[in-house]
Amino acid sequence: MRLTAFTDFGLRTLMYLASLEEEQLSSVSEVASIYNVSQNHMVKVIGQLAKLGYVQTIRGKNGGIRLAMKPADINIGDVIAKMENHLDGVDCISTSCQLIPCCELKHALAEAMNAFLDTMRRYTLADLVANKSELIPLMVAR
């Protein structure tokens, strides 16, 4: 059971941006290169983060991307809930499951998924980069 790659890289992008100095700009290609994923995929991830108001994109020659909110104001449970397409735990529809009309599994999974999100809602982006001082030398060393 894992987050989709889309959400996963969304969270890592936010963590990376939070590790930079407050006004420092990064770029899609920089984030893609750090995490060794395709720039195309990162365009979509960062586009969604911008649409959701977490990331600010500044156009032009000296443009780039940065956090649009303070790390302490970015709730990780909310980021996951907004980025994940599938918070149902199982795919009942595309498998045409015969159990759909009377299945209790999906209710149990919905309850468990809420417990997962409630736990993640106790964290902000600031908590995830609390040891920022250890993070920066790693980024510089790459």
Check residue 129 for interaction with a second copy (CB under 8 A): yes
Check residue 62 for interaction with a second copy (CB under 8 A): no
Interface with a second copy in residues 96-125 (CB under 8 A): 96-99, 101-105, 108-109, 111-120, 123
Packing angle of the helix pair 76-83, 5-19 (nearest 10 deg): 140
φ/ψ of 21, rounded to 5, equals -65, 155
Among 21, 62, 91, 93, interactor with a second copy by CB under 8 A = 91
Check residue 76 for interaction with a second copy (CB under 8 A): yes
Check residue 37 for interaction with a second copy (CB under 8 A): yes
Query: What 3-state DSSP class applies to 64?
Result: strand
Structure tokens of 54?
A: 């977490």
- The amino acid occupying position 78 is D
In the complex, the smallest distance separating the C-beta of residue 59 from a second copy, rounded to whole angstroms, is: 27
Give the C-alpha separation, 89 to 113, whole Å. Answer: 7
Beta carbons within 8 Å of 36's beta carbon, 6+ residues apart = none
Residues at the interface with a second copy (CB under 8 A): 1-4, 7-8, 11-12, 15-16, 34-37, 76, 80, 84, 86-91, 95-99, 101-105, 108-109, 111-120, 123, 127-131, 134-135, 138-139, 142
